[in-house]
Amino acid sequence: MLSMKSTLLFAASAAAKIYYAGVAESGGEFGVYSADAINGTGLPGRFGVDYAFLNASTVDIWVDQNKINTFRVAFLLERMCPLAYGLGARFNETYFGYYNDAIEAITCKGAYAILDPHNYMRYNDPSQQPATGSVIGNTSDPAAATTAQFQAFWEELAGRYKTNERVIFGIMNEPHDMPTSLVLQNDQAAITGIRASGAKQLIIAPGNGYTGGHVWNSSSQGDAPSADYMYKLRDPINNTAIDIHEYLDYDFSGQHSICNQSFPANMYGLTEWLRTYQLKAMVTEFGGDNNTMCDGYLTQAVEYMGENPECKPTIRRIPLCHIGPGMLTGRISAADIGWTAWAAGPIWGTQSPCCTDSRALGSLEPGSRASDGSPGLYYTVWEKVLERLVPRGLQRSGISSIHG
Ligand SMILES: *[C@@H]1O[C@H](CO)[C@@H](O)[C@H](O)[C@H]1NC(C)=O
Ligand SMILES: *[C@@H]1O[C@H](CO)[C@@H](O)[C@H](O)[C@H]1NC(C)=O
Ligand SMILES: *[C@@H]1O[C@H](CO)[C@@H](O)[C@H](O)[C@H]1NC(C)=O
Ligand SMILES: *[C@@H]1O[C@H](CO)[C@@H](O)[C@H](O)[C@H]1NC(C)=O
Ligand SMILES: *[C@@H]1O[C@H](CO)[C@@H](O)[C@H](O)[C@H]1NC(C)=O
Ligand SMILES: *[C@@H]1O[C@H](CO)[C@@H](O)[C@H](O)[C@H]1NC(C)=O
Ligand SMILES: *[C@@H]1O[C@H](CO)[C@@H](O)[C@H](O)[C@H]1NC(C)=O
Ligand SMILES: *[C@@H]1O[C@H](CO)[C@@H](O)[C@H](O)[C@H]1NC(C)=O
């Protein structure tokens, strides 16, 4: 049964375009966790021991063999801007130098690099991330860095990359448990700072609630929905997209090996919202375990991002067709411009970045092994499921942009 609304949606549908696809490189933020929440653990940390950004040899593998064009590279704000300096324009040049080596390895190879301050919109105590640290811009907390400091940080960082067209600015990893109005305020300050530096590349801006797509339209931990605020972001050159994280396990945490959350159903509200405000999104974290159930859910997630399809024949085995008028009858126009899977990285070892109920099944790092020596998630999830879903015709040159 076609409703008028869905007929119009169908008529208005356009072919989707994914310009950016690849993996997250996680490791630059490692080494600060303390079971006793001892403030300062792992700071500044030892490069190559406590933390590392990527193995440059794997960039060749990813680009040449896996045909991806995008890497999201995590770093820690307390290392880039040591507490002794405070958050702002003064960097630890040694740490920045290591990070820059990683970014240049990617962009000199012709791929795009998303800069990812992996700080949950907090600064000063990463000892039990995501819980610890003062929320940036919390004026009731004398220890908190200010929104102006965050703006100064981004103006400096973006200025250093304004001539590198293959950089993408990821404002912040997973803000949560804070006023949504403050997420908006900090995001806006970052955009303002980035543009003030003269940088024109793509920016991706997160919402609240760990920037989960499934909570975009609903309140998260009592905070207002991201949908009520994030359309207010203003970028003078209109080159900002929304940064989304979306896992497939029952609590969306990416910690469980059973996939049973429908990506299309959970992204539906967000997708409608993006359409309403003519915005685009990039999904910079998602993942699944190496079982046949997750294979189907992961495939469906990537296909949805590429086409926003519903109930395609290939995925009929998963009952998902009861989620809304647009979903029942046709396509809604594409709203996603890219994705990066969670996660590769040089120092995961046999540990797993997501989705394994804490079993050590390895990571998406090429060469990865599980703790029993058998193939890691690079082989059992990336090569088996995700690699064939990397779209052809990804952007290979020119400035990063919502328009590709
Ligand atoms: C870097 O990656 C290459 C290619 O996978 C691998 O041969 C090498 O052992 C890796 N180096 C480190 C230090 O992990
Ligand atoms: C800057 O980083 C280097 C390398 O990790 C470290 O040795 C040094 O102590 C850091 N400086 C500050 C002020 O944190
Ligand atoms: C961690 O220590 C720094 C000073 O080194 C301080 O500014 C910050 O408030 C501390 N964080 C917490 C949560 O105690
Ligand atoms: C802001 O700081 C105050 C005072 O430390 C604290 O009670 C409040 O929980 C903080 N707000 C957030 C969102 O962390
Ligand atoms: C940005 O988008 C707004 C709203 O569509 C439009 O009014 C404005 O002219 C655009 N600015 C640029 C630089 O394209
Ligand atoms: C989803 O998986 C979890 C285990 O991770 C299980 O407890 C839950 O019952 C499942 N939910 C459904 C609807 O299948
Ligand atoms: C989500 O909110 C937007 C407006 O903020 C609205 O256009 C959209 O229909 C909503 N979607 C759902 C599923 O509630
Ligand atoms: C997942 O990977 C591990 C390590 O390679 C392997 O032992 C296990 O059988 C795989 N699970 C499935 C369901 O294939």
pLDDT attached to residue 333:
53
Residues in Cβ contact with 313 at an 8 Å cutoff, skipping those fewer than 6 apart: none
Closest C-alpha residue for ligand 5 atom 4: 238
Compute the distance between CA of residue 155 and CA of residue 78 in angstroms, rounded to an integer. 17
Q: Is the pLDDT of residue 13 over 50?
A: no
Q: Name the pTM for this structure.
A: 0.93
Cβ(74)–Cβ(119) below 8 Å: no
DSSP 142: T
pLDDT attached to residue 104:
98
Q: What type of residue is 115?
A: L
| Helices 180-196 and 147-160: angle between axes, nearest 10 degrees | 40
Is 54 a member of any domain? yes
Closest C-alpha residue for ligand 1 atom 3: 57
pLDDT attached to residue 220:
87
**How far lies 78's CA from each of 95, 119, 187, 283, 378, in Å?**
10, 9, 19, 25, 30
Structural domain tally of the chain? 1
pLDDT digits (tens, 9 = 90+) for 279-328: 999 999 999 999 999 999 999 999 989 876 444 433 444 434 434 444 44
Alpha helices (runs of H) in 62-166, residue ranges in sequence order: 77-80, 93-108, 147-160
Is 395 a member of any domain? no
Is 400 a member of any domain? no
Q: Does residue 323's CB lie within 6 angstroms of at least one atom of ligand 7?
A: no
Q: For all residues of the chain together, what is the average pLDDT?
A: 91
Using pLDDT thresholds of 50, 70 and 90, give the confidence band for residue 10: very low
285 as an active site residue: the answer is yes
Is 171 a member of any domain? yes
**Can you give the residue range of the structural domain that contains 213?**
4-389
pLDDT digits (tens, 9 = 90+) for 121-152: 999 999 999 999 999 999 999 999 999 999 99
Is 327 a member of any domain? yes
78 as an active site residue: the answer is no
What residues line ligand 6, using a CB cutoff of 6 Å? 249-250, 256, 258, 260
**Active-site pick, 155, 285, 303, 365:** 285
Is 85 a member of any domain? yes
Is 229 a member of any domain? yes
Is 226 a member of any domain? yes
Q: Tell me, what CATH number does 174's domain have?
A: 3.20.20.80
